[in-house]
Structure 1
Amino acid sequence: MNGLYRDRRFCFIVAANILSSIGSGITMIAIPWLLASGENGGKVFGYAAIAMTIINFAVTPFFGQLIDRFSRKRILLFGEGAGFIIIAAFSAAGYFGLDYETVHLIILYGAGSLYYTLFYPAIFAFNQEIFDPSHYRRLNGAMEIQGQLSSVAAGALAAAIISTVPLERLLLIDALTYLGAFGLFWLIPYTSGENSVKQQGKVKAGGGLLFLKASPVLFVFLFASMMPFIGVMVTNYLFPVYIADILQADASVYGTQSMIYGIGAALAGLAVPAIASRWGNERSMILTIGAYTAAISVIVFIKDVPVFLSLAIFLAFGNAGTRVARNALMMERVPNHLIGRTDSLFRSMGLLIRTLLLLVFTGLSGAPSIAFSFYILSFLLIFSFAAAVIAGKLLQEGQQEKTIGEAKENTA
């Protein structure tokens, strides 16, 4: 652990993440707000969000292929550089008198969405490539804590300045954070020889699928463990409706829930690496998936604000803890030259499931129909938890047999 914190590559990555997360986070809070508050804003933002979901679904496999084919550092530099150029151009246009129209806001929203779609799988593959496997659990825990703190900071800053600072100045701040992140990624020591992909020639788009077809138990386990994250994405829509219609509470409850969630997620980033070191990634994930499933399954029966806020801790611990252990498991089990395509496959499936659920839940919005949305989500989570328990047990048994076999070979 101390070795990881003394590694300057880790320090550069965390600093770059903080810069880009806060800068882009402020903008990606401001842009939807400006879109939604304009004329017919709700419909415009809804259509923009649907369009970007479709685009992200289409480009995610392509991004995964790029990540496995080219230098991950160059991809990260490209993302930060492109972000700086686009955001700086719009900021400069604003300073020169451009009145931002809806189309400009949609372009900025789309650029930010595409940046996230490229950045997260790229940094995931980059971290797996440059760090020793013994650091994977602590690394992912630290990245989770950093991500949560950055989100909280971005939200707090956005709340303080969105209504008082002109958009061109917000964009300038965002552009400078992209530039700072570019410089930090540039400083990370990295040689092309570290990535064996470059020596393999053409990268097949279906490499991740072929790998998972050869490891069906791993596929089932990783697929089942996506559900808490999908649940969080869906409840970002469900919770405001639930709070207003079922709890009969105001927006302050939603804000408090978000704050408590951030605390719980940060605690997961601290605790889960230690739990996984003792129990293993598989058992840790079963614990965290179970915690999230249990919390979601009882929420629909709760009409008390303090109890709802208490459950937010379990939701946060379950989702963030699953992500920490799941990322470590993928880093350990998926070869680095396949990680981009394998990760993109799961991301694409997650986007598809999330979109389908949102379409269904939108039709069930409002009390008392909102309860059926939670019933559906609870059923899917319980089913996924059962699948994770079975697949996780098989994975652990297979790993134990492999370890015993290797020990016999070494003593032969």
Structure 2
Amino acid sequence: MNALLRDPRAQRLIAANATSSIGSGVTIIAVPWLLVNRPGGSQIYGWATALTTLAIFAFAPYYGAWVDRHSRKTMLLLGELFGATATLAMALLGLFRGEYATWQLVTVYFCGMFYYTLHFPAKFAFIQQIFGRAHYQSLTSAMEIQGQTASMLAGGLASLLIDHVSLTTILLLDASTYAISFVLQSTIPYEPTHQTAEMKNAPAPNAWRAVGDAWTWLRARPALSTFLLCSFTPFLGIMVSNYLFPIYVASTLHETPAVYGRGEMIFAVGAITAGVCVPFLTARFNHARTTVALGAVFLVGLVLLSWWPRTLPFYAAMVFLGLGNAGVRVARNVIVLEAVPNAIMGRIHVFFLVAERSLRTLLILLMTLLVDAHGAPFCFAILLVVNLAAFAGMWRSRPAAEAAQAR
């Protein structure tokens, strides 16, 4: 780990991700809170989340094919440029109008989630390309600690800023962090080694056929594919929970934005703990078993949210959710980096993104229809059932993941 952190490439990558994570994190916390506290806001927020998911679902196959044929660094830089431009435009429009209409809040949320989701496949392929296999565990742990530390700072800043600072100020801060991240990543040396002469001269493949290529690779490894797909379910749970959390705090707990922000900070503490502990757990139990064990930890958090809707249990649940989700992600990411060829990494990652987004869309639409009538705890109970089924799938397919890493 120490040798890796002395590498200037790792230093710049971690600094860039920390910077943009803080800015986008504050916005992604602030905007949903402002939305759900408007008349009919829970419904608007639910439909905005679902439509964002559908848009990314439609775009993702083209993006995955693009990532595997072009420079991964260019994609990262375009992502930062998109985030900075979109956020700055909404900030200036809000400053000019003197207020933010609901459609502007929805646009800011859409752009933030679009950036957040599409940033990761390119970053994954980029990391795999410029760092050796021996550094995967250290780098994924360091990135998780960095990302969750940034989330903790974002949660703290959001709880302080939402009631005391204008949204324009928050958006300008967010735009500046994207710009700083762009500058830092532009200085990282990079050679697109995956781009062969044949690839450059070949016609661009059909985007959905590219996803089919990923499916062909995965279909030849059904047990491994089952394990990896099920291991994305805690992340799915968090993405759906991000819709439910502000409603849970405002309507179920009847608490203030400070409780919401502190919950995000506590979630980050659990995730940072995962980043620190997972290397020790995987050294003793291997990555597949660690993934399954931390999936069980995630279930504990959902049980607390479903059956004990009080403020202190909410904080405890956020620890378990942060620890479980981040721990599963760190351990699984190493399995993916070691098992999947770099030439199809973008398509494989996008395949899982499309699968996760499809289920997420259905769940968010379901939650949107149910949350007003039955409450957020009932919706968390549905998430618990989904994650229990995925946990059973991980448990049964674990030997395939262990075998894939052993090769």
With the length of structure 1 as denominator, give the TM-score of the two structures.
0.85
More deviation, 329-338/96-105:
96-105
Distance 1:333 1:372, change over 3 A: same
Number of the residue aligned with 1:406: none
- Counterpart CA distance in 1 for 2:96 and 2:333 is 45
Number of the residue aligned with 1:384: 390
Quote the offset at 1:220 in angstroms: 0.2
Q: Secondary structure at the match of 1:210?
A: helix
Structure 1 residues 147-296: aligned runs within 5 Å: 147-192=147-192, 194-196=193-195, 199-200=198-199, 201=202, 202-203=204-205, 205=210, 206-238=212-244, 250-251=255-256, 254-296=260-302
| Percent of pairs with identical residues | 39
More deviation, 59-68/293-302:
293-302
| RMSD (CA atoms) | 3.0
Number of the residue aligned with 2:107: 107
Uncovered stretches (5+) of structure 1, i.e. residues with no partner: 403-412
Quote the offset at 1:288 in angstroms: 0.8
More deviation, 25-34/222-231:
25-34
Quote the offset at 1:186 in angstroms: 0.9
Number of the residue aligned with 2:371: 365
Quote the offset at 1:148 in angstroms: 1.2
More deviation, 31-40/178-187:
31-40
Q: Secondary structure at the match of 1:191?
A: coil
- The question of whether the paired residues in 2 share the 8 Å contact of 1:218 and 1:395 is answered with yes
- The question of whether the paired residues in 2 share the 8 Å contact of 1:245 and 1:366 is answered with no
Q: Secondary structure at the match of 2:371?
A: coil
Residue type of the alignment partner of 1:343: H
Q: Secondary structure at the match of 2:119?
A: helix
Number of the residue aligned with 1:338: 344
User: CA-to-partner distance for each residue in 1:267-298, whole Å, 9 max, x for gaps?
Assistant: 00111022113322111111111222244346
- Counterpart CA distance in 2 for 1:226 and 1:43 is 26
Residue type of the alignment partner of 2:5: Y
Distance 1:395 1:34, change over 3 A: closer
- Counterpart CA distance in 1 for 2:247 and 2:37 is 19
User: CA-to-partner distance for each residue in 1:164-223, whole Å, 9 max, x for gaps?
Assistant: 44444433333322221111111001123x234675344551221111111111110001
- Counterpart CA distance in 1 for 2:45 and 2:108 is 12
The higher radius of gyration belongs to: 1
Quote the offset at 1:375 in angstroms: 4.3
Quote the offset at 1:6 in angstroms: 0.8
Residue type of the alignment partner of 1:195: H
- The question of whether the paired residues in 1 share the 8 Å contact of 2:140 and 2:334 is answered with yes
Number of the residue aligned with 1:141: 141
- The question of whether the paired residues in 1 share the 8 Å contact of 2:335 and 2:405 is answered with no
- The question of whether the paired residues in 1 share the 8 Å contact of 2:335 and 2:401 is answered with no
More deviation, 376-385/137-146:
376-385
Number of the residue aligned with 1:6: 6
Residue type of the alignment partner of 1:346: F
- Counterpart CA distance in 1 for 2:95 and 2:259 is 38
Quote the offset at 1:328 in angstroms: 1.2
More deviation, 365-374/58-67:
365-374
- Counterpart CA distance in 1 for 2:321 and 2:401 is 25
- Counterpart CA distance in 1 for 2:360 and 2:146 is 25
- The question of whether the paired residues in 2 share the 8 Å contact of 1:137 and 1:276 is answered with no
- The question of whether the paired residues in 1 share the 8 Å contact of 2:267 and 2:321 is answered with yes
Number of the residue aligned with 1:86: 86
- Counterpart CA distance in 2 for 1:97 and 1:371 is 38
- The question of whether the paired residues in 2 share the 8 Å contact of 1:60 and 1:117 is answered with no
- Counterpart CA distance in 1 for 2:248 and 2:37 is 22
Distance 1:361 1:44, change over 3 A: closer
Residue type of the alignment partner of 1:26: V
- Counterpart CA distance in 2 for 1:172 and 1:237 is 24
More deviation, 319-328/95-104:
95-104
Q: How many residues align?
A: 399
- Counterpart CA distance in 1 for 2:228 and 2:340 is 11
More deviation, 370-379/308-317:
370-379
- Counterpart CA distance in 2 for 1:368 and 1:92 is 39
Quote the offset at 1:17 in angstroms: 0.8
- Counterpart CA distance in 1 for 2:388 and 2:10 is 37
Residue type of the alignment partner of 1:322: V
Distance 1:97 1:386, change over 3 A: closer
Quote the offset at 1:71 in angstroms: 0.3
Number of the residue aligned with 1:408: none
Quote the offset at 1:236 in angstroms: 3.4
Quote the offset at 1:319 in angstroms: 1.1
Number of the residue aligned with 1:409: none
Residue type of the alignment partner of 2:115: Y
Quote the offset at 1:338 in angstroms: 0.9
More deviation, 19-28/6-15:
19-28
